[in-house]
Structure 1
């Protein structure tokens, strides 16, 4: 009697245990997804660096090698645009607008068109191809789409609800792992991706950022993206430079954002007549113009612009008009239809702008580069908290917190006075509108079939 009772009690405890394991399964899948984002982000970064080194190696050294971009850039842009249209639709551009749009779409099928493992693979592959062609693109925006895709797939495998919160968590983990900036990942999720604070998702975002960051640190160690700088604001001229960097960065950022939104809409209408042919012609033309600009600037405007930005922060002088050439190259890459982000190139534009302003004021080039990045980046994305936090973490310049905040806020306010619509959210409306159009077409077909 006693043995039977103990056996029954043990069986009940086992059922409780197995039931708890079932409840733990979604958490385990979520944690695995966050770790995977960190691992993939590191691999993506290594491949991006390799692609830039290959392009640099091919286009330097020989007497005529500097002309090779005239072939590589148009060919790379055209091939990347064709592959994106043919095999990886919705992989074009940064990837952040796709993640934002997916959070606003209620249907799983619509989200799947913007975020999937297939698109994540294509995003990585085609961003690498764009860098091999000398495109002025970055990997950070694409990492957001990749991270959101991985986390959304983890939600499917783990049977988890709250898809919007998981997309937010995957996006934040992508930014955190790409730059090694965990705080910026969290702020980016709240300010740029969500635009409103959702308390129920804070645990998801924080956990995803921690795990992806740990995975990245385990693979490549802890580091500061642009290195460390100990420059400090001291004089009145320094503060005058900060104001100038913020206002000038906001004006340029707003111009870039407004022109991109306007021209993107015009291009979508222009390509509707003969979509594939016109899109490829546009990509080839943008690639050729990118090559011409790159040759004119001695190759400085090709790629992410990381080396130029880091050099400026460390006090190295850059060409006074580098920021203009880099801005033009980044704009061409954005409207060309190839996959690739604008985070790193925008920071390079800001660093070039700030260093040129610093030379005019006779102040520190390193400080000018930092404040130029804050002003211009905040002007482009209209997310001042993300701008100052991400730059603070990337430079380790904690002594200038207030000054960086001031430059970012000035850039944001100036940008908002010129262009009222944030870039990423404006671009996300195109994907939302396309999803609505597809759904209405399907409903019409179903109605006609009945």
Structure 2
């Protein structure tokens, strides 16, 4: 018995249930280890590439000569063209949008080749100065690595979904050293739901991923922010105005990216070369737009650039980044989003200082950073926690909440815009919003409900074998023949045997296809499937029962539409 309880088969069986908390925590630990290890490699490679290419080290694109700033993004685009033209079309889909699409259509089954391409392509894009960030690739790599772990262990699909959430949280935590923001990001953006059973494994994954990165490559000190806050409540109207401004900027970013996505039918060389040329031309005048822009954000926290330069940077980054992302440059948009918000906040703070003599405008750069992230990603809580963890400044919680609320209201209800990731999926005809029925049924696999009290029999058998089947007391008889596979009620077989004349020999045979009985057609379904997949299959094929089978197609159990409906009503009444 102890060996069976510690077996992988028992582990899989427990994960089929929605309340398998100890097993899910184990998965959270494994997910954090795998995702943290890969993100450590990714961050190390990114740092080495930029140290080799840039005078002054990481993110120091401003130190490049003008001609180099013009040509470096074009050179990066040429490398990306060579990479993408050498791989099959299905491997070119990368990023958070790809992860959400696989989560919606493939139950979180992520391909390994796409993960590898994402890592290599993002390194090229970041090192060549494209206006992108590393957080999107980190989410893809973390989520895909965790999914591949689950696939390798043949885990049920309901746990694969949660593994993708664990990997996404670990990816954000490892990229920024912001574990709490990673947890909420996974809930708000990736899984689109908050569940008590999901919080703990995702939290464990984020913590483990963060610890792995700190042990291997050290702490990612993204910003050194001053300990400042608003001085009086009279500054709150300016905070509200900042929320409105960032909401408008997020809406403009959103619309520009959606319009540029119409060019995705252009060839890869055309799109990538256009992206490289645009980045190079803009970088000639505003080199700060290159890369993630963390160094510029820190400058805005600690000092004030001239208002003219700030306005130019804000305009350039707002116009360049959505176009670059929509043209297909394979990296993230979260870091550029933070840059835009910080620039908008610093600009508004600078204008406010001319009127009200504000003592420090860096606080508005911090607030703008969080508000822009919340508005564009439709993730207000994740943005607030990221703001807190990145700046280590608790004094900005109150104004940060106010700015984030106003920014979110502006984009969500003023313009009716969803998250930028979900909008990209909607352009592909996908809608990630799940009804309560789908949400509840996606959390458990068919193995948690299937009945095992059935007997498997061939269609032709002896009378003695038929009586032996009935003596075992099955709920159903699963009948196999060359023509069909079906369920037969044991009571119908018993009634038929009782009507036979005496003197029938035990060795005489009978055909279960020809006796008078009810027969229910049945189709196979892998044990990894969720209850939602089972119900969808039943509705599509108008079935009442499905046969749950193993990877080797051996029958494991039966599940009915009535069982699934009863499960849903039970969970709904509890909630």
TM-score for both structures, normalised by structure 1: 0.82
The residue correspondences of 1:426-441 to structure 2 (distance < 5 A) are 426-429=423-426
How well do the aligned residues superpose, as a CA RMSD in angstroms?
2.6
Deviation per CA, 1:190-218: give whole Å up to 9, x if none. 11112222333223212211211221222
Q: 1:413 to 1:88 in 2, by over 3 A?
A: farther
Q: 1:206 to 1:237 in 2, by over 3 A?
A: same
Which of 50, 53, 56 is equivalent to 2:54? Answer: 56
Q: Match for residue 132 of structure 1?
A: 127
Matched, 1:73 2:64: no
Which of 232, 242, 251 is equivalent to 1:235? Answer: 232
Deviation at 1:336, TM superposition (A): 2.2
Matched, 1:154 2:152: no
Q: Is the 1:346–1:373 Cα contact (8 Å) retained in structure 2?
A: yes
Q: Is the 1:84–1:338 Cα contact (8 Å) retained in structure 2?
A: no
Q: 1:260 to 1:124 in 2, by over 3 A?
A: same
Deviation at 1:106, TM superposition (A): 4.0
Q: Is the 1:69–1:133 Cα contact (8 Å) retained in structure 2?
A: no
Deviation per CA, 1:416-435: give whole Å up to 9, x if none. 2124232111223456769x
Q: 1:54 to 1:365 in 2, by over 3 A?
A: farther
The residue correspondences of 1:410-429 to structure 2 (distance < 5 A) are 410-416=406-412, 417-429=414-426
Q: Is the 2:61–2:288 Cα contact (8 Å) retained in structure 1?
A: no
Relative to its length, the structure with more strand (as a share) is 2
Matched, 1:16 2:2: yes
- Distance across 1 between alignment mates of 2:28 and 2:148: 10
Deviation at 1:292, TM superposition (A): 0.8
Deviation per CA, 1:342-386: give whole Å up to 9, x if none. 111111111111111111001322101111112222221121111
Report the secondary structure of 1:259's partner residue.
helix
Point out where structure 1 has 5 or more consecutive residues left out of the alignment: 1-14, 272-277, 435-450
Q: 1:175 to 1:59 in 2, by over 3 A?
A: closer
Deviation per CA, 1:59-87: give whole Å up to 9, x if none. 7768xx31123332123124314523542
Q: Is the 1:123–1:339 Cα contact (8 Å) retained in structure 2?
A: yes
Point out where structure 2 has 5 or more consecutive residues left out of the alignment: 16-22, 432-575
Deviation at 1:317, TM superposition (A): 2.4
Deviation at 1:147, TM superposition (A): 0.6
Deviation at 1:173, TM superposition (A): 1.2
- Distance across 1 between alignment mates of 2:113 and 2:342: 35
Deviation per CA, 1:313-355: give whole Å up to 9, x if none. 1224262221221222312320221211011111111111111
Matched, 1:401 2:397: yes
Q: 1:87 to 1:237 in 2, by over 3 A?
A: farther
Q: Is the 2:222–2:294 Cα contact (8 Å) retained in structure 1?
A: no
Report the secondary structure of 1:313's partner residue.
helix
Return 410-419 or 50-59, whichever deviates more. 50-59
1 or 2 for the larger relative contact order (CA 8 Å, sep ≥6)? 1
Which of 334, 341, 346 is equivalent to 2:332? Answer: 341
Q: Is the 1:48–1:139 Cα contact (8 Å) retained in structure 2?
A: no
Matched, 1:252 2:243: no
Deviation at 1:134, TM superposition (A): 1.4
TM-score for both structures, normalised by structure 2: 0.65
Which of 382, 385, 390 is equivalent to 1:386? Answer: 382
- Distance across 2 between alignment mates of 1:377 and 1:91: 28
Report the secondary structure of 1:340's partner residue.
coil
Q: Match for residue 280 of structure 2?
A: 291
Matched, 1:359 2:357: no
- Distance across 1 between alignment mates of 2:233 and 2:4: 67
Q: Is the 2:70–2:280 Cα contact (8 Å) retained in structure 1?
A: yes
Deviation at 1:29, TM superposition (A): 6.6
Q: 1:94 to 1:244 in 2, by over 3 A?
A: farther
- Distance across 1 between alignment mates of 2:63 and 2:204: 47
Report the secondary structure of 1:378's partner residue.
helix
Report the secondary structure of 1:231's partner residue.
coil
Q: Is the 1:34–1:211 Cα contact (8 Å) retained in structure 2?
A: yes
- Distance across 1 between alignment mates of 2:305 and 2:259: 34
Larger radius of gyration between Structure 1 and Structure 2:
2
Q: 1:84 to 1:199 in 2, by over 3 A?
A: farther
- Distance across 2 between alignment mates of 1:412 and 1:102: 27
Matched, 1:373 2:369: yes
Q: Is the 1:101–1:431 Cα contact (8 Å) retained in structure 2?
A: no
Q: Match for residue 165 of structure 1?
A: 162
Q: Is the 1:232–1:367 Cα contact (8 Å) retained in structure 2?
A: yes
- Distance across 1 between alignment mates of 2:35 and 2:222: 18
Q: Is the 1:355–1:366 Cα contact (8 Å) retained in structure 2?
A: yes
Q: Match for residue 512 of structure 2?
A: none
Q: Is the 2:61–2:290 Cα contact (8 Å) retained in structure 1?
A: no
Q: 1:433 to 1:407 in 2, by over 3 A?
A: closer
Report the secondary structure of 1:159's partner residue.
coil
Q: Is the 2:260–2:327 Cα contact (8 Å) retained in structure 1?
A: no
Report the secondary structure of 1:68's partner residue.
helix
Q: 1:250 to 1:51 in 2, by over 3 A?
A: farther
- Distance across 1 between alignment mates of 2:41 and 2:221: 18
